[in-house]
Structure 1
Amino acid sequence: MAADPYLQENGTFKNRLGITDAAELQARETAISTVRLAQMQQLEQPVGRFDLDHLRGIHRRAFGDVYEWAGKTRGEWTTIQGERFMPPAGLMKGGTRFADGPMVEPFLRDTFRQLERDNQLRGLSRPEFAGKAAELMGDMNAAHPFREGNGRTQREFMRELGVEAGHQLNFSVVSQARMIHVSIESARGDNEGLRRMLLEISDRQAVRALQQAEQALEKRGQDWNGLYVATANKGQIYSGEVAWKGRELSAVQDGNRVIVAPTRELGRGVQEGQSVQFTASGRAQWMDLER
């Protein structure tokens, strides 16, 4: 098997920083890209026109300090440390296979032409926007155009698109476990988890509920980012153990899944650690997200 041209012999990505340890590189890359993405979020205008060049530009700005190939898709000639190559066609992560390199750019150009025909999702109600945005995000994820950094690039693209369309998306309340879960579902052809997530993070009350859940879980020593945390979905039956109870909001945990709901939904006298089952009634505004 040919060596991966992106990697050093020990499996660490080749990088501008001269780092040879994978854990150290990941920490530095995360810190640098977080700053660059925050700078983009301070801009009054998007960094592009919601096309492939826009997506490339976000990736280049976020990761260009770390990787020589930032902004280059897996479907175009790339140079790293003087070596020019066409990236390997295939890419698989965690059992999910993404589009082959030569198909990345044609597929995304078709995707962004459809976005242009849809007027960049302007003028849509929030549920309509969430449905269309889920399809778009699912397509970008299926393409996985860059060797690394796809999720962060896609989320910034979607955030900017939401601003332009009048629907603010707050990805800071999406746990890593949830993002991975809905992305895998989407790669298998099911965008419902993405749609539901986008509905939640474009609703201010749902965002506040998720923020409170994050704080409460971390206060109790739980790794919020490692849990699938969501608000209750109207009409759905939930069961589990009360992870935390507040005056207005509580959370029910079943394994890796944590569902946030109004405390009154759980029944009178419920206590932390108690097993409960309830049907989400939708009496809270953020539990009726189809409006």
Structure 2
Amino acid sequence: MSDNKYGTDQAPDCYPDTDVLINLLDLRDADDLEEAERYLNEIASARMEFIPPPYSLDTLKQVHRTLFDEVYGWAGEIRTLGISKGATRFCSPEFIETEVEKEFSRIAKTGWFEGYPRDLLVSSIAESYGTLNVAYPFREGNGRTQRFLFECIIFNAGYSIDWGMADRQEWIDACIASYFGDDKPLATIFDRCIGSEIEEVDF
């Protein structure tokens, strides 16, 4: 069994004998690709504007396409291969659309968390983030795509958020815990990252 980043069943869209995804930049080194991804993401993110509800799988696709269309030819497309990282195996491709839309439907019934007090917003966001993370709809870039969308959801609910309040390893550990049914570490992160309620100003 390979111990590479994506597992043996993800090799078809990687360069031969590597775990580096085939990309539009033709970068064959994982560190170079990651650096280019982040640089282009920052540029794309700076151009992106707040997206109001309703949200759906199509919204996720739109965000992913905007963030990654200069890096991957499949930006904005749902993955067709099974994905596993370590002991974590994400949603099978044939169930992604159903599971993602089920979660968005559930959030829609809450009114997109509008009017929620901060403590309830934190726990609700953590639960939904964890659910969509397990769905893992894209081949790569799910975290950055989800964070932008949840920034919109949180802002729409009337709160600010600062993702810089959590480090990368903490995110990874929290998402793994959520995968196994414990959303508390994600809630701890969101409690730290979500700011105070945004005050409306009359002009």
TM-score (norm 2): 0.87
Shift of 1:47: 6.8
Which residues in structure 2 correspond to 1:175-194 (within 5 Å)?
175-194=167-186
Distance 2:34 2:17 in 1: 14
Change (3 A) 1:115 1:15: same
Residue 152 (structure 1) aligns with: 144
Residue 199 (structure 2) aligns with: none
Residue 27 (structure 1) aligns with: 35
Shift of 1:48: 6.4
Question: Can you list the C-alpha shifts for 1:83-136, whole angstroms capped at 9, x where unaligned?
Answer: xxxx22x21113211111111110011110111111111010001111111111
Question: Can you list the C-alpha shifts for 1:136-159, whole angstroms capped at 9, x where unaligned?
Answer: 101111101111111111111111
Preserved CA contact (<8 Å) 1:48 1:54: no
- 2:110 is aligned with 1:102: no
Residue 168 (structure 1) aligns with: 160
Residue 4 (structure 1) aligns with: 11
Q: What do you get for the CA RMSD once the two structures are aligned?
A: 1.7
Distance 2:159 2:15 in 1: 42
- 2:193 is aligned with 1:201: yes
Worse-superposed segment, 9-18 or 137-146: 9-18
Change (3 A) 1:33 1:113: same
Shift of 1:15: 1.0
Distance 1:168 1:94 in 2: 33
1:123 aligned counterpart, secondary structure: coil
Distance 1:121 1:27 in 2: 35
Preserved CA contact (<8 Å) 2:51 2:152: yes
TM-score (norm 1): 0.61
Distance 1:3 1:196 in 2: 32
Distance 1:150 1:4 in 2: 19
Residue 284 (structure 1) aligns with: none
Residue 37 (structure 1) aligns with: 45
- 2:119 is aligned with 1:127: yes
Specify the structure having the higher radius of gyration (Cα).
1
Residue 55 (structure 1) aligns with: 60
Change (3 A) 1:29 1:3: closer
Shift of 1:3: 7.0
Worse-superposed segment, 30-39 or 178-187: 30-39
Distance 1:3 1:63 in 2: 19
Consecutive unaligned residues of structure 1, counting only runs of 5 or more, are 75-86, 205-291
Preserved CA contact (<8 Å) 2:41 2:67: yes
- Larger helix fraction of residues: 2
Query: Of 70, 73, 76, which aligns to 2:75?
Result: 70
Consecutive unaligned residues of structure 2, counting only runs of 5 or more, are 1-7, 197-203
Residue 132 of structure 1 aligns to which amino acid in structure 2?
Answer: S
Alignment length (residue pairs) = 188
Distance 2:165 2:191 in 1: 12
Shift of 1:68: 0.5
- Runs of 4+ with >3 A deviation: none
Distance 2:25 2:16 in 1: 16
Distance 2:11 2:33 in 1: 17
- 2:23 is aligned with 1:15: yes
Change (3 A) 1:142 1:22: same
Preserved CA contact (<8 Å) 1:47 1:54: no
